[in-house]
Structure 1
Amino acid sequence: MKQHLGYDRKIAIVGATGNVGRLTLQLLLQRGVIPKESIITFASATSAGKTLEILDTSFILQELKEDTLAQASLWGFNTEAEVSQQWIPKILSVGGRVADSSSYYRQDPKVPLIVGPVNLADAKDAQLCALANCVSSPLMCVLKSLMPLGIKVLRITTFQSTSGAGKLAMEGFLQETKLFTSAMNGCVESAKALGSMPFYFGRPVAFNVLPQVGGFDDQGYCSEENKILSEIQKVLDKELKISVTTVRVPVLVGHCSDLTVQFQEAIDLNQVCSLLEGDSFLKVSDDIVPPQEVVGKDQVFISRLRALKGFPKEVKMWVASDNLRRGAALDTVEVLEYLWKQY
């Protein structure tokens, strides 16, 4: 691995002003593994020079430029794929190490795909790590615990919040909700505004569900379904048979999945429950766990765990997690802390 050109032991967060970037900084400060004096932040040109306040700590935002690449030895990218595509090769060329939460490198066979509780050690010798997305990461946390039982087939239906599409999607959802509520109460102006509103998802998500996350391919699968399938296979087992349907729901934060697991042989539900309860990053609940109740929590929550009547090899469960944490900010922090400790 190349020696980094910078002299300071610094960590850089790119995309610091976004939902995930701000939470990444918050978690870094709260966990305290990396000193706050060692953290620098990057955002868009319009934010450059401004101050970002996180937990009483001030960060001066910079624009990412060629002459800034030697400022840090470790980089966390909480950005869109286009930004990662443009800048990560340049950082790698000067010896930087990168944890990338975008989708750009996830299916590159030369780049390890990391889920902290599952395969963090795969990041040890990697100059670049990709991070699994905010649905496949929590699912793999669950499935990792069950792999010793011999998993054959997965059937997944997701229920994904608007925050998974970013701040503009959340703001659009809130505005839709306000206008719909007002229009239903007789406000003519709100009804007119809805008629001309450019809905972020193409259709209103407020008071609605949309059985599509991402664009469709020629086989009728949307991009998010293909991501989940390929990411789980890459990390856990390329031979796993997986069926996925993704749904966008009118929720701000919190992704949920209806997960059915088919094993190679007839399964004892008590054994399944025991394995899931043995991992600290999971929480098995006897009560239902809706998305509102997982916001701000690091664990992946499992509820409605049950054997399927007439299907002795299958179990079904509801999986819920804070999508801004697991599969996003928390995964970024876990990798960066792991790499930091190697120095």
Structure 2
Amino acid sequence: MGYRVAVVGATGNVGREMLQILAERQFPVSEVIALASDRSAGSEISFGEDDVLKVRSLDKFDFKGTDIVLSSAGAKISAAFAPKAAAAGAVIVDNTSHFRMDPDVPLVVPEVNPQAIAGYTKKNIIANPNCSTIQMVVALKPLHDIAKISRVVVSTYQSVSGAGKEGMDELFNQTRGVYMNQSPERTKFTKQIAFNVIPHIDVFMQDGFTKEEWKMTVETKKILDPNINVVATCVRVPVFIAHSEAVNIEFESEISVEQVRAALRSAKGITVVDHRADEGYVTPLEVAGEDNVFVSRIRKDPTVKHGITMWIVGDNLRKGAALNAVQIAEVLAQDYLKQKAA
């Protein structure tokens, strides 16, 4: 017997990936329900290679009898429906920012802090972290275990898919327009994204940082260690899928490049491609569709006492969102809800 699983925001980029990954990983389902807005209700969406689901209206859906909800439909939507679904007995794995810093909601990356899932019973909600935070903490965890991290300086190079289908469409249309001598139209991004980079993701805060940068700081502290200092600069780049990060790490004690490489290679969910030669590193184009976080360009930082610098790349739609949510659901099903499905 399996679980009754609902995917909220099923017609979006991440929702489609959630359905695909549930099928790929053969998650034990008795029924899968695709939920979206009234506008999308009645349309069809693929579940795996052979099955097609009829999209149902989120507003009209009764969550009673639903075991697990995977949600990626926007923070305002999650704020409205998630408590009601939780009250009906479902456990929500939410991919939006709304619940992440709620002290009663665990913020989870299964390779880093799976034990935190146990706290879901307070509200029946588990939060999926920000995509950039996920891939960074996956790489930081095995290093923090062997030589405590004190400070992280990170610059991100984030793909337009992080802004949804509208962001991908805008990059495509602007790029085509440049070659057709048309003025680029801006609707999603604050400046032209084609052939450009934009050091601005999410809203600006009073201290000059953007909310995306703030998320990386506070989420890393909640997931990995509250004593780690993090400063981020988040940049949107003209790449369709996969985020990249240049990460400088300061440790409390000495750690060698060889130790870093060995720890990362032995860690779950990480692939190291680190050859000091042409093509001896990974780019976002190469990791689109991959599940692992990829680490390259590992080297000593000579400007601090115990410093390491590296390059981290991951598919933001998969590990940065949909895959991480499904992995949380897998731990939930295996370790916490098993008796319910028996």
TM-score normalized by the length of structure 1: 0.91
Map of 2:300 onto structure 1: 307
Looking at structure 2, the residues matched to 89 and 326 of structure 1 have their Cα atoms a distance apart, in angstroms, of 26
Between the aligned residues of both structures, percent identity stands at: 33
Kept in 2, the 8 Å contact 1:15–1:77? The answer is yes
Deviates more, 1:317-326 or 1:199-208: 199-208
**2:224 maps to 1:236:** yes
Kept in 2, the 8 Å contact 1:263–1:314? The answer is yes
What are the Cα deviations for residues 91-141 of structure 1, in whole angstroms up to 9, with x where unaligned?
111121110000000000111001121112321351210011110001010
Map of 2:234 onto structure 1: 246
Map of 1:174 onto structure 2: 172
Gaps of 5+ in 2: none
In structure 2, the residue corresponding to 1:331 is in which secondary structure? helix
Looking at structure 1, the residues matched to 148 and 3 of structure 2 have their Cα atoms a distance apart, in angstroms, of 43
> How far 1:280 moved relative to its partner?
2.9
In structure 2, the residue corresponding to 1:68 is in which secondary structure? coil
In structure 1, the residue corresponding to 2:56 is in which secondary structure? strand
In structure 1, the residue corresponding to 2:207 is in which secondary structure? coil
**2:255 maps to 1:267:** yes
**2:192 maps to 1:204:** yes
Pick the aligned partner of 2:53 from 37, 56, 59.
59
Pick the aligned partner of 1:223 from 211, 216, 238.
211
> How far 1:50 moved relative to its partner?
1.8
TM-score normalized by the length of structure 2: 0.92
Looking at structure 2, the residues matched to 239 and 114 of structure 1 have their Cα atoms a distance apart, in angstroms, of 18
In structure 1, the residue corresponding to 2:167 is in which secondary structure? helix
In structure 1, the residue corresponding to 2:153 is in which secondary structure? strand
**2:180 maps to 1:163:** no
Looking at structure 2, the residues matched to 152 and 311 of structure 1 have their Cα atoms a distance apart, in angstroms, of 12
Give the counterpart letter for 1:151 in structure 2: I
Looking at structure 1, the residues matched to 12 and 259 of structure 2 have their Cα atoms a distance apart, in angstroms, of 41
Looking at structure 2, the residues matched to 306 and 24 of structure 1 have their Cα atoms a distance apart, in angstroms, of 35
Kept in 2, the 8 Å contact 1:267–1:312? The answer is no
**2:68 maps to 1:68:** no
> How far 1:71 moved relative to its partner?
4.5
**2:8 maps to 1:14:** yes
Report the count of equivalent residues.
326
Looking at structure 2, the residues matched to 84 and 199 of structure 1 have their Cα atoms a distance apart, in angstroms, of 24
> How far 1:67 moved relative to its partner?
5.0
Map of 1:186 onto structure 2: none
Deviates more, 1:164-173 or 1:233-242: 233-242
Looking at structure 1, the residues matched to 304 and 58 of structure 2 have their Cα atoms a distance apart, in angstroms, of 54
> How far 1:34 moved relative to its partner?
1.9
Deviates more, 1:123-132 or 1:171-180: 123-132
Give the counterpart letter for 2:134 in structure 1: S
In structure 2, the residue corresponding to 1:106 is in which secondary structure? coil
Give the counterpart letter for 2:142 in structure 1: S
Map of 1:128 onto structure 2: 125
Looking at structure 1, the residues matched to 102 and 169 of structure 2 have their Cα atoms a distance apart, in angstroms, of 33
Map of 2:101 onto structure 1: 107
> How far 1:312 moved relative to its partner?
4.0
